[in-house]
Structure 1
Amino acid sequence: MNRLTQGVVLLLFGGAILRASFTDLYLRYVKEGLRPFLIATGLLLVAAAVMTIWYSWRSPDESSAEHDASPHSSSGHSAVDDDGHGHGEHGPRVGWLLLLPVLGLLLVAPPALGSYAANQAGSVVAAPVGDSDYPPLPEGPAVELSMIDYASRALFDAGRSLEGRDLKLVGFITTAPDGAPMLARIVLSCCAADGRPIKIGLSGRAPIDVPADTWVEITGVYTDQTAKDPVNNVDMAYLEVKSWQEVPQPKQPYA
Protein backbone atom coordinates (compact mmCIF):
# COMPACT_ATOMS: atom_id res chain seq x y z
CA MET A 1 0.00 0.00 0.00
CA ASN A 2 1.73 3.20 -1.16
CA ARG A 3 1.24 6.64 0.33
CA LEU A 4 -1.49 7.66 -2.13
CA THR A 5 -3.51 4.54 -1.36
CA GLN A 6 -3.05 5.15 2.36
CA GLY A 7 -4.44 8.64 1.92
CA VAL A 8 -7.46 7.39 -0.01
CA VAL A 9 -8.22 4.75 2.63
CA LEU A 10 -7.93 7.38 5.38
CA LEU A 11 -10.24 9.67 3.43
CA LEU A 12 -12.84 6.92 3.03
CA PHE A 13 -12.54 5.97 6.70
CA GLY A 14 -12.96 9.56 7.90
CA GLY A 15 -15.82 10.14 5.47
CA ALA A 16 -17.60 7.00 6.67
CA ILE A 17 -17.34 8.13 10.29
CA LEU A 18 -18.69 11.58 9.40
CA ARG A 19 -21.54 10.05 7.41
CA ALA A 20 -22.55 7.92 10.38
CA SER A 21 -22.15 10.86 12.79
CA PHE A 22 -24.43 13.20 10.82
CA THR A 23 -27.19 10.59 10.61
CA ASP A 24 -28.80 8.35 13.23
CA LEU A 25 -26.54 5.46 12.18
CA TYR A 26 -23.99 6.22 14.90
CA LEU A 27 -26.63 5.49 17.56
CA ARG A 28 -26.30 1.80 16.70
CA TYR A 29 -22.67 1.87 17.82
CA VAL A 30 -22.26 4.40 20.65
CA LYS A 31 -24.20 6.52 23.11
CA GLU A 32 -25.72 9.78 21.88
CA GLY A 33 -23.35 11.94 23.93
CA LEU A 34 -20.30 10.69 22.00
CA ARG A 35 -21.41 12.29 18.73
CA PRO A 36 -19.10 15.37 19.01
CA PHE A 37 -16.09 13.11 19.54
CA LEU A 38 -16.98 11.06 16.46
CA ILE A 39 -17.29 14.21 14.36
CA ALA A 40 -13.93 15.48 15.62
CA THR A 41 -12.30 12.11 14.86
CA GLY A 42 -13.78 12.04 11.35
CA LEU A 43 -12.54 15.56 10.62
CA LEU A 44 -9.03 14.73 11.85
CA LEU A 45 -8.90 11.63 9.65
CA VAL A 46 -10.09 13.58 6.61
CA ALA A 47 -7.49 16.30 7.27
CA ALA A 48 -4.72 13.69 7.62
CA ALA A 49 -5.92 12.02 4.40
CA VAL A 50 -5.88 15.28 2.45
CA MET A 51 -2.33 16.06 3.63
CA THR A 52 -1.19 12.54 2.75
CA ILE A 53 -2.69 12.71 -0.75
CA TRP A 54 -1.24 16.19 -1.30
CA TYR A 55 2.21 14.97 -0.25
CA SER A 56 2.03 12.03 -2.66
CA TRP A 57 1.01 14.31 -5.53
CA ARG A 58 3.80 16.86 -5.16
CA SER A 59 5.65 17.89 -8.30
CA PRO A 60 7.98 15.26 -9.77
CA ASP A 61 10.88 17.74 -9.65
CA GLU A 62 10.53 18.17 -5.89
CA SER A 63 10.31 14.43 -5.36
CA SER A 64 13.33 13.89 -7.63
CA ALA A 65 15.34 16.53 -5.76
CA GLU A 66 14.62 14.85 -2.46
CA HIS A 67 15.63 11.49 -3.94
CA ASP A 68 18.93 12.86 -5.28
CA ALA A 69 19.73 14.22 -1.83
CA SER A 70 19.17 10.84 -0.24
CA PRO A 71 22.30 9.01 0.98
CA HIS A 72 21.12 5.91 -0.87
CA SER A 73 20.89 7.63 -4.28
CA SER A 74 24.60 7.29 -5.15
CA SER A 75 24.63 3.53 -4.81
CA GLY A 76 21.17 2.64 -6.05
CA HIS A 77 17.64 2.54 -4.74
CA SER A 78 16.95 1.25 -1.26
CA ALA A 79 14.67 -1.77 -1.16
CA VAL A 80 12.52 0.02 1.41
CA ASP A 81 12.25 3.29 -0.52
CA ASP A 82 11.55 1.92 -3.98
CA ASP A 83 10.22 -1.33 -5.35
CA GLY A 84 11.94 -0.95 -8.71
CA HIS A 85 8.81 0.26 -10.51
CA GLY A 86 8.75 3.85 -9.32
CA HIS A 87 6.12 3.28 -6.70
CA GLY A 88 8.15 4.59 -3.77
CA GLU A 89 7.54 3.65 -0.16
CA HIS A 90 5.00 1.01 0.70
CA GLY A 91 3.31 0.51 4.04
CA PRO A 92 2.57 -2.90 5.52
CA ARG A 93 -0.05 -4.93 3.67
CA VAL A 94 -2.07 -5.27 6.86
CA GLY A 95 -3.16 -1.67 6.19
CA TRP A 96 -5.61 -3.02 3.63
CA LEU A 97 -7.66 -4.37 6.54
CA LEU A 98 -8.74 -0.78 7.21
CA LEU A 99 -11.01 -1.18 4.21
CA LEU A 100 -13.18 -3.65 6.13
CA PRO A 101 -14.64 -1.16 8.66
CA VAL A 102 -14.89 1.41 5.87
CA LEU A 103 -16.98 -0.93 3.73
CA GLY A 104 -18.99 -1.89 6.79
CA LEU A 105 -19.86 1.73 7.56
CA LEU A 106 -20.56 2.67 3.94
CA LEU A 107 -22.36 -0.41 2.63
CA VAL A 108 -23.88 -2.20 5.63
CA ALA A 109 -26.35 -0.86 8.17
CA PRO A 110 -26.26 -3.44 10.97
CA PRO A 111 -29.26 -3.60 13.29
CA ALA A 112 -29.02 -2.56 16.91
CA LEU A 113 -28.27 -5.29 19.44
CA GLY A 114 -31.40 -7.27 20.19
CA SER A 115 -32.76 -10.50 21.61
CA TYR A 116 -29.78 -12.66 20.67
CA ALA A 117 -27.40 -10.41 22.62
CA ALA A 118 -29.91 -10.20 25.49
CA ASN A 119 -30.10 -13.98 25.76
CA GLN A 120 -26.33 -14.38 25.83
CA ALA A 121 -25.64 -11.88 28.62
CA GLY A 122 -26.87 -11.58 32.18
CA SER A 123 -29.27 -8.83 33.12
CA VAL A 124 -27.92 -5.54 34.40
CA VAL A 125 -28.16 -5.25 38.17
CA ALA A 126 -30.49 -2.32 38.84
CA ALA A 127 -28.84 -0.11 41.45
CA PRO A 128 -30.61 1.35 44.50
CA VAL A 129 -30.64 5.13 44.96
CA GLY A 130 -28.96 4.88 48.36
CA ASP A 131 -30.41 6.10 51.63
CA SER A 132 -32.85 8.56 50.05
CA ASP A 133 -36.40 7.67 49.07
CA TYR A 134 -37.38 7.29 45.45
CA PRO A 135 -39.07 10.46 44.19
CA PRO A 136 -42.81 10.22 43.50
CA LEU A 137 -43.86 9.55 39.93
CA PRO A 138 -45.23 12.45 37.88
CA GLU A 139 -48.98 12.88 37.60
CA GLY A 140 -50.82 11.37 34.66
CA PRO A 141 -52.98 8.42 33.65
CA ALA A 142 -49.98 6.28 32.65
CA VAL A 143 -46.38 7.14 33.55
CA GLU A 144 -43.65 6.27 31.06
CA LEU A 145 -40.61 4.85 32.86
CA SER A 146 -37.26 3.59 31.68
CA MET A 147 -36.80 -0.11 32.26
CA ILE A 148 -33.89 0.52 34.63
CA ASP A 149 -35.96 2.94 36.70
CA TYR A 150 -38.83 0.47 36.94
CA ALA A 151 -36.55 -2.44 37.91
CA SER A 152 -34.76 -0.33 40.52
CA ARG A 153 -38.00 0.85 42.14
CA ALA A 154 -39.52 -2.63 41.99
CA LEU A 155 -36.54 -4.46 43.50
CA PHE A 156 -35.13 -1.96 45.99
CA ASP A 157 -38.19 0.05 47.00
CA ALA A 158 -40.60 -2.90 47.13
CA GLY A 159 -42.74 -1.07 44.58
CA ARG A 160 -43.91 1.58 47.09
CA SER A 161 -43.55 4.39 44.53
CA LEU A 162 -45.20 2.25 41.83
CA GLU A 163 -48.31 0.90 43.53
CA GLY A 164 -51.65 2.08 42.22
CA ARG A 165 -50.19 3.59 39.06
CA ASP A 166 -50.43 2.56 35.41
CA LEU A 167 -46.94 2.34 33.93
CA LYS A 168 -45.60 2.34 30.37
CA LEU A 169 -42.39 0.56 29.36
CA VAL A 170 -40.86 0.34 25.88
CA GLY A 171 -38.52 -2.45 24.85
CA PHE A 172 -38.14 -5.44 22.58
CA ILE A 173 -39.44 -8.95 23.12
CA THR A 174 -37.03 -11.69 24.04
CA THR A 175 -37.69 -15.20 25.30
CA ALA A 176 -36.90 -16.77 28.66
CA PRO A 177 -35.50 -20.33 28.73
CA ASP A 178 -38.98 -21.63 29.57
CA GLY A 179 -40.40 -19.93 26.47
CA ALA A 180 -42.16 -17.10 28.34
CA PRO A 181 -41.84 -13.62 26.82
CA MET A 182 -39.69 -11.00 28.52
CA LEU A 183 -39.19 -7.31 27.85
CA ALA A 184 -35.58 -6.27 27.30
CA ARG A 185 -33.44 -3.33 26.31
CA ILE A 186 -29.68 -3.01 25.90
CA VAL A 187 -27.87 -0.67 28.29
CA LEU A 188 -24.63 0.96 27.14
CA SER A 189 -21.82 2.32 29.27
CA CYS A 190 -19.98 3.66 26.24
CA CYS A 191 -20.55 1.68 23.05
CA ALA A 192 -22.26 -1.42 21.71
CA ALA A 193 -19.22 -3.53 22.63
CA ASP A 194 -20.03 -3.15 26.35
CA GLY A 195 -23.82 -3.44 25.96
CA ARG A 196 -25.68 -5.39 28.64
CA PRO A 197 -29.41 -6.16 28.75
CA ILE A 198 -31.96 -5.11 31.32
CA LYS A 199 -34.69 -7.74 31.40
CA ILE A 200 -38.17 -7.60 32.92
CA GLY A 201 -40.50 -10.57 33.20
CA LEU A 202 -44.09 -10.22 32.03
CA SER A 203 -47.24 -11.59 33.64
CA GLY A 204 -50.92 -10.94 33.03
CA ARG A 205 -51.82 -10.23 29.41
CA ALA A 206 -48.27 -10.67 28.17
CA PRO A 207 -47.65 -10.64 24.41
CA ILE A 208 -47.69 -14.32 23.44
CA ASP A 209 -46.35 -15.67 20.13
CA VAL A 210 -44.79 -12.30 19.29
CA PRO A 211 -41.52 -12.70 17.34
CA ALA A 212 -38.30 -11.90 19.16
CA ASP A 213 -36.91 -8.40 18.54
CA THR A 214 -40.41 -6.94 18.10
CA TRP A 215 -40.55 -3.54 19.80
CA VAL A 216 -43.59 -3.04 21.99
CA GLU A 217 -45.04 -0.46 24.34
CA ILE A 218 -46.51 -2.17 27.38
CA THR A 219 -48.96 -0.65 29.84
CA GLY A 220 -49.14 -2.46 33.14
CA VAL A 221 -48.94 -2.28 36.91
CA TYR A 222 -46.37 -3.25 39.50
CA THR A 223 -46.26 -6.81 40.78
CA ASP A 224 -44.03 -8.17 43.52
CA GLN A 225 -43.25 -11.25 41.45
CA THR A 226 -39.53 -11.73 40.76
CA ALA A 227 -37.32 -14.34 39.15
CA LYS A 228 -33.62 -15.10 38.70
CA ASP A 229 -31.89 -14.44 35.41
CA PRO A 230 -30.53 -17.88 34.43
CA VAL A 231 -27.43 -16.32 32.87
CA ASN A 232 -26.02 -14.50 35.91
CA ASN A 233 -28.54 -15.33 38.66
CA VAL A 234 -29.51 -11.73 39.48
CA ASP A 235 -33.04 -10.73 40.47
CA MET A 236 -35.39 -9.69 37.67
CA ALA A 237 -38.48 -7.58 38.30
CA TYR A 238 -41.86 -8.39 36.75
CA LEU A 239 -44.60 -6.21 35.30
CA GLU A 240 -48.25 -7.25 35.18
CA VAL A 241 -49.38 -6.42 31.66
CA LYS A 242 -52.76 -4.75 31.11
CA SER A 243 -52.31 -3.96 27.39
CA TRP A 244 -49.58 -3.73 24.79
CA GLN A 245 -49.04 -2.55 21.24
CA GLU A 246 -46.30 -2.95 18.66
CA VAL A 247 -44.24 0.20 18.03
CA PRO A 248 -41.36 1.13 15.70
CA GLN A 249 -37.83 0.81 16.99
CA PRO A 250 -36.96 4.06 18.80
CA LYS A 251 -34.45 6.45 17.30
CA GLN A 252 -32.22 5.69 20.30
CA PRO A 253 -32.57 1.92 20.75
CA TYR A 254 -30.22 1.70 23.72
CA ALA A 255 -30.90 2.71 27.30
Structure 2
Amino acid sequence: MRRETQNVLLLLLGGALLKIAVTGDYLRYVKPTHQPWLVGAGIVMLVLAGVAIVRDVRDGARAAAGDTDETDDAGDGRGCAPDACAGEGGHEHTARSAWLIVVPVLAVLLVAPPALGADSVLRTRQNTEPGNTEFAPLPPREVVSLPVGDFVARAGWDERDSLDGRTVRLTGFVVQTADGPQLARMTMSCCAADAFAVRTGLTGGQADLLPSDTWVEVTGQLVPADDTRARDYVPDLAVRTLREIPRPEEPYET
Protein backbone atom coordinates (compact mmCIF):
# COMPACT_ATOMS: atom_id res chain seq x y z
CA MET A 1 0.00 0.00 0.00
CA ARG A 2 1.40 3.40 -0.94
CA ARG A 3 2.11 5.92 1.78
CA GLU A 4 -0.42 8.33 0.31
CA THR A 5 -3.12 5.69 0.70
CA GLN A 6 -2.10 5.01 4.30
CA ASN A 7 -2.24 8.71 5.15
CA VAL A 8 -5.67 9.16 3.58
CA LEU A 9 -7.01 6.11 5.44
CA LEU A 10 -5.71 7.43 8.77
CA LEU A 11 -7.30 10.83 8.12
CA LEU A 12 -10.65 9.35 7.12
CA LEU A 13 -10.78 6.78 9.93
CA GLY A 14 -9.75 9.31 12.57
CA GLY A 15 -12.31 11.80 11.26
CA ALA A 16 -15.01 9.11 11.18
CA LEU A 17 -14.36 8.13 14.81
CA LEU A 18 -14.50 11.75 15.98
CA LYS A 19 -17.67 12.39 13.96
CA ILE A 20 -19.66 9.51 15.40
CA ALA A 21 -18.34 10.26 18.90
CA VAL A 22 -19.47 13.90 18.71
CA THR A 23 -22.82 13.35 16.96
CA GLY A 24 -23.82 10.42 19.18
CA ASP A 25 -23.96 7.92 16.31
CA TYR A 26 -21.42 5.81 18.23
CA LEU A 27 -24.31 4.65 20.43
CA ARG A 28 -25.40 2.47 17.50
CA TYR A 29 -22.13 0.57 17.74
CA VAL A 30 -20.89 0.58 21.36
CA LYS A 31 -21.91 1.45 24.92
CA PRO A 32 -21.90 5.09 26.10
CA THR A 33 -18.90 4.42 28.34
CA HIS A 34 -16.74 3.86 25.23
CA GLN A 35 -17.04 7.45 23.96
CA PRO A 36 -13.73 8.66 25.53
CA TRP A 37 -11.88 5.77 23.88
CA LEU A 38 -13.34 6.65 20.48
CA VAL A 39 -12.39 10.30 20.88
CA GLY A 40 -8.87 9.35 21.96
CA ALA A 41 -8.42 6.89 19.10
CA GLY A 42 -9.69 9.44 16.57
CA ILE A 43 -7.28 12.12 17.82
CA VAL A 44 -4.33 9.71 17.78
CA MET A 45 -5.08 8.68 14.18
CA LEU A 46 -5.38 12.30 13.03
CA VAL A 47 -2.08 13.17 14.72
CA LEU A 48 -0.34 10.19 13.15
CA ALA A 49 -1.72 11.12 9.73
CA GLY A 50 -0.61 14.73 10.17
CA VAL A 51 2.91 13.72 11.22
CA ALA A 52 3.20 11.31 8.28
CA ILE A 53 1.98 13.90 5.78
CA VAL A 54 4.38 16.58 7.08
CA ARG A 55 7.27 14.13 6.94
CA ASP A 56 6.44 13.08 3.38
CA VAL A 57 6.13 16.70 2.27
CA ARG A 58 9.54 17.51 3.76
CA ASP A 59 11.11 14.44 2.13
CA GLY A 60 9.63 15.48 -1.20
CA ALA A 61 10.96 19.01 -0.80
CA ARG A 62 14.47 17.74 -0.04
CA ALA A 63 14.33 15.39 -3.01
CA ALA A 64 13.31 18.22 -5.30
CA ALA A 65 16.19 20.34 -3.99
CA GLY A 66 18.70 17.59 -4.69
CA ASP A 67 19.36 16.76 -1.06
CA THR A 68 18.60 13.05 -1.43
CA ASP A 69 21.31 10.44 -1.50
CA GLU A 70 23.07 9.67 -4.78
CA THR A 71 21.51 6.85 -6.73
CA ASP A 72 23.46 3.60 -7.01
CA ASP A 73 25.24 3.15 -10.30
CA ALA A 74 23.19 0.07 -11.04
CA GLY A 75 19.97 1.71 -9.89
CA ASP A 76 17.22 3.40 -11.84
CA GLY A 77 16.92 6.68 -9.92
CA ARG A 78 15.05 5.27 -6.93
CA GLY A 79 17.93 3.93 -4.88
CA CYS A 80 17.50 0.26 -5.80
CA ALA A 81 18.16 -2.14 -8.60
CA PRO A 82 15.68 -2.17 -11.47
CA ASP A 83 14.60 -5.76 -10.78
CA ALA A 84 13.86 -4.87 -7.15
CA CYS A 85 11.67 -1.88 -7.90
CA ALA A 86 9.98 -2.95 -11.09
CA GLY A 87 7.31 -5.51 -11.58
CA GLU A 88 6.65 -7.70 -14.56
CA GLY A 89 7.29 -5.88 -17.82
CA GLY A 90 9.66 -3.37 -16.17
CA HIS A 91 7.00 -1.09 -14.66
CA GLU A 92 6.05 -0.38 -11.05
CA HIS A 93 2.83 -1.96 -9.80
CA THR A 94 0.41 0.30 -7.91
CA ALA A 95 -1.80 -1.22 -5.22
CA ARG A 96 -5.06 0.14 -6.59
CA SER A 97 -7.04 -2.53 -4.75
CA ALA A 98 -5.84 -1.02 -1.47
CA TRP A 99 -8.22 1.88 -2.05
CA LEU A 100 -11.11 -0.54 -1.53
CA ILE A 101 -10.29 -0.30 2.18
CA VAL A 102 -11.57 3.25 2.02
CA VAL A 103 -15.12 2.04 1.27
CA PRO A 104 -16.06 0.84 4.79
CA VAL A 105 -14.37 3.90 6.29
CA LEU A 106 -16.46 6.20 4.09
CA ALA A 107 -19.55 4.19 5.03
CA VAL A 108 -18.91 4.91 8.72
CA LEU A 109 -18.15 8.56 7.95
CA LEU A 110 -21.11 9.28 5.67
CA VAL A 111 -23.80 6.72 6.53
CA ALA A 112 -25.21 6.11 10.00
CA PRO A 113 -26.77 2.62 10.05
CA PRO A 114 -29.98 2.21 12.03
CA ALA A 115 -29.95 0.49 15.39
CA LEU A 116 -30.90 -3.19 15.48
CA GLY A 117 -34.65 -3.59 15.45
CA ALA A 118 -37.56 -5.97 14.96
CA ASP A 119 -35.82 -8.13 12.38
CA SER A 120 -32.99 -8.87 14.81
CA VAL A 121 -35.50 -9.70 17.55
CA LEU A 122 -37.28 -12.25 15.37
CA ARG A 123 -33.98 -13.96 14.55
CA THR A 124 -32.73 -14.30 18.13
CA ARG A 125 -33.89 -16.08 21.25
CA GLN A 126 -34.59 -14.31 24.49
CA ASN A 127 -31.61 -14.31 26.83
CA THR A 128 -32.66 -13.07 30.26
CA GLU A 129 -31.19 -15.40 32.88
CA PRO A 130 -29.54 -13.03 35.36
CA GLY A 131 -26.29 -13.79 37.11
CA ASN A 132 -27.85 -12.73 40.41
CA THR A 133 -31.48 -13.45 41.25
CA GLU A 134 -31.53 -11.06 44.21
CA PHE A 135 -33.64 -8.13 43.03
CA ALA A 136 -33.91 -4.86 44.91
CA PRO A 137 -37.40 -3.85 46.06
CA LEU A 138 -39.30 -1.59 43.70
CA PRO A 139 -39.80 2.01 44.86
CA PRO A 140 -43.21 2.75 46.38
CA ARG A 141 -44.54 4.77 43.45
CA GLU A 142 -47.81 4.33 41.64
CA VAL A 143 -46.02 3.81 38.30
CA VAL A 144 -42.45 2.48 38.30
CA SER A 145 -40.20 3.04 35.26
CA LEU A 146 -38.13 -0.04 34.45
CA PRO A 147 -35.79 -1.12 31.68
CA VAL A 148 -37.38 -3.87 29.59
CA GLY A 149 -34.55 -6.22 30.56
CA ASP A 150 -35.18 -5.66 34.26
CA PHE A 151 -38.91 -6.23 33.84
CA VAL A 152 -38.37 -9.47 31.92
CA ALA A 153 -35.76 -10.73 34.39
CA ARG A 154 -37.99 -10.02 37.39
CA ALA A 155 -40.94 -11.68 35.67
CA GLY A 156 -39.00 -14.89 35.13
CA TRP A 157 -36.64 -15.09 38.10
CA ASP A 158 -37.78 -12.95 41.02
CA GLU A 159 -38.86 -15.37 43.74
CA ARG A 160 -40.34 -12.49 45.74
CA ASP A 161 -42.75 -11.61 42.91
CA SER A 162 -41.99 -7.91 43.17
CA LEU A 163 -43.99 -7.19 40.00
CA ASP A 164 -47.28 -8.63 41.22
CA GLY A 165 -49.91 -5.92 41.30
CA ARG A 166 -47.42 -3.18 40.37
CA THR A 167 -47.87 -0.81 37.43
CA VAL A 168 -44.70 -0.33 35.40
CA ARG A 169 -43.64 1.96 32.58
CA LEU A 170 -41.57 0.44 29.76
CA THR A 171 -39.99 1.96 26.65
CA GLY A 172 -39.16 -0.04 23.56
CA PHE A 173 -40.13 -0.81 19.98
CA VAL A 174 -43.01 -2.92 18.72
CA VAL A 175 -42.38 -6.31 17.15
CA GLN A 176 -45.30 -7.97 15.38
CA THR A 177 -45.04 -11.75 15.77
CA ALA A 178 -47.26 -14.74 15.03
CA ASP A 179 -48.19 -14.80 18.72
CA GLY A 180 -49.18 -11.12 18.77
CA PRO A 181 -47.42 -7.81 19.35
CA GLN A 182 -44.42 -7.61 21.62
CA LEU A 183 -42.38 -4.81 23.15
CA ALA A 184 -38.64 -5.31 22.67
CA ARG A 185 -35.34 -3.70 23.43
CA MET A 186 -31.85 -4.69 22.33
CA THR A 187 -29.32 -5.10 25.15
CA MET A 188 -25.57 -4.91 24.64
CA SER A 189 -22.73 -5.99 26.90
CA CYS A 190 -19.98 -4.28 24.92
CA CYS A 191 -21.01 -3.43 21.36
CA ALA A 192 -23.74 -4.02 18.80
CA ALA A 193 -22.09 -7.28 17.73
CA ASP A 194 -23.02 -8.95 21.03
CA ALA A 195 -26.47 -7.34 21.37
CA PHE A 196 -29.41 -9.58 22.19
CA ALA A 197 -33.15 -8.97 22.48
CA VAL A 198 -35.33 -8.78 25.57
CA ARG A 199 -39.07 -8.64 25.01
CA THR A 200 -42.49 -8.92 26.54
CA GLY A 201 -45.88 -9.56 25.02
CA LEU A 202 -48.42 -6.72 24.86
CA THR A 203 -52.02 -7.67 25.57
CA GLY A 204 -55.13 -5.50 25.40
CA GLY A 205 -55.19 -4.75 21.66
CA GLN A 206 -53.63 -1.28 21.73
CA ALA A 207 -50.51 -2.39 19.86
CA ASP A 208 -52.15 -4.81 17.43
CA LEU A 209 -52.13 -2.40 14.46
CA LEU A 210 -48.82 -0.67 15.08
CA PRO A 211 -46.05 -1.40 12.55
CA SER A 212 -42.93 -3.17 13.74
CA ASP A 213 -40.10 -0.90 14.89
CA THR A 214 -42.54 1.73 16.19
CA TRP A 215 -41.13 3.15 19.42
CA VAL A 216 -43.67 3.37 22.23
CA GLU A 217 -43.95 4.03 25.92
CA VAL A 218 -46.40 1.74 27.69
CA THR A 219 -47.73 1.33 31.20
CA GLY A 220 -49.36 -1.80 32.53
CA GLN A 221 -49.07 -4.77 34.84
CA LEU A 222 -47.47 -8.18 34.52
CA VAL A 223 -49.86 -10.95 33.52
CA PRO A 224 -49.20 -13.80 35.99
CA ALA A 225 -48.21 -17.03 34.27
CA ASP A 226 -46.61 -20.34 35.27
CA ASP A 227 -45.29 -21.21 31.81
CA THR A 228 -42.55 -18.58 31.55
CA ARG A 229 -39.87 -21.18 30.81
CA ALA A 230 -42.02 -22.87 28.15
CA ARG A 231 -42.60 -19.52 26.49
CA ASP A 232 -38.88 -18.78 26.24
CA TYR A 233 -39.15 -16.42 29.22
CA VAL A 234 -41.32 -13.94 27.34
CA PRO A 235 -43.85 -12.56 29.87
CA ASP A 236 -46.99 -10.61 29.01
CA LEU A 237 -47.83 -7.06 29.98
CA ALA A 238 -51.47 -6.06 30.30
CA VAL A 239 -51.29 -2.64 28.67
CA ARG A 240 -53.03 0.23 30.42
CA THR A 241 -51.72 3.13 28.33
CA LEU A 242 -49.65 3.32 25.16
CA ARG A 243 -48.20 6.28 23.28
CA GLU A 244 -45.83 6.54 20.35
CA ILE A 245 -42.50 8.28 20.95
CA PRO A 246 -39.43 9.17 18.86
CA ARG A 247 -36.52 6.75 18.88
CA PRO A 248 -34.41 7.54 21.96
CA GLU A 249 -30.84 8.77 21.59
CA GLU A 250 -29.64 5.57 23.28
CA PRO A 251 -31.58 2.79 21.52
CA TYR A 252 -29.79 -0.01 23.39
CA GLU A 253 -30.11 -1.01 27.03
CA THR A 254 -26.89 -1.79 28.87
TM-score scaled by structure 2?
0.85
Deviations 1:145-172 (A, max 9, x none): 0111111111112572112221001000
- The structure-2 alpha-carbon separation of the partners of 1:81 and 1:141, relative to structure 1 and needing over 3 Å to count, comes to farther
Instruction: Report whether the alignment pairs 1:241 with 2:239.
Output: yes
Is contact 1:151–1:237 with CA below 8 Å preserved after alignment? yes
- Code of the residue aligned with 2:148 in structure 1: it is M
Q: Is the 8 A contact 2:222 2:235 kept in 1?
A: no
Residue 11 and residue 24 in structure 1: after superposition, are their counterparts in 2 closer, same or farther (change >3 A)? Answer: same
- Aligned residue for 1:19, secondary structure, equals helix
Contact persistence 1:126–1:151 (CA under 8 A): no
Cα gap change, 1:122/1:149 in structure 2, threshold over 3 Å: closer, same or farther?
Answer: same
For the residue of structure 2 that corresponds to 1:57, the secondary structure is helix
- Name the CA shift for 1:13/1:168 in 2 (closer, same or farther; >3 Å): same
CA–CA separation in structure 1 for the residues paired with 2:148 and 2:11: 40
In the aligned structure 2, how far is the partner of 1:4 from the partner of 1:51? 13
Shift of 1:23: 1.5
Corresponding residue number in structure 1 for 2:15: 15
Percent identity reads 36
SS in 2 for 1:186: strand
Q: Deviations over 1:168-199 (max 9, x none)?
A: 01000112234x11111111111111111112
Matches within 5 A, 1:195-234: 195-225=195-225, 226=227, 234=232
Contact 2:175 2:181 in 1 (8 A): yes
SS of the equivalent of 2:210 reads coil
Residue aligning to 2:55: 55
Q: Is the 8 A contact 1:162 1:222 kept in 2?
A: yes
* Residue pair 1:184, 1:197 contacting (<8 A) in 2 also: yes
Tell me how many residue pairs correspond in the alignment.
Answer: 242
CA distance in 1, matches of 2:98, 2:45: 15
Report how far residue 66 of structure 1 moved: 4.3
Deviation string, structure 1 residues 108-153 (Cα, Å, up to 9, x no partner): 12111111111111112231634x4x22111222110011111111
Find the counterpart in structure 1 of residue 141 from structure 2: 140
Q: Aligned partners of 1:213, 1:60: CA distance in 2, in Å?
A: 55
Runs of 5+ unmatched residues, structure 1? none
User: In the alignment, what sits opposite 2:70?
Assistant: 68
Specify the code of the residue in structure 2 equivalent to 1:249: R
Aligned to 2:9, the other structure's residue is in SS state helix
1:253 match: 251
Q: Is the 8 A contact 1:153 1:159 kept in 2?
A: no
Letter paired with 1:107: L
**CA distance, structure 2, for counterparts of residue 47 and residue 82 of structure 1:** 33
TM-score by length of 1: 0.85
Say if 1:54 and 1:155 are closer, same or farther in 2 by CA, change over 3 A: same
CA contact (8 A) 1:142 1:165 kept: yes
Contact in 1 for aligned 2:176/2:211 (Cα 8 Å): no
When residues 80 and 182 of structure 1 are mapped into structure 2, their CA distance, relative to the original with a 3 A threshold, is: farther
1:65 Cα deviation after fit: 4.3
2:121 counterpart residue number: 118
| Equivalent AA in structure 2 for residue 140 of structure 1 | R
> What is the Cα deviation at residue 67 of structure 1?
4.7
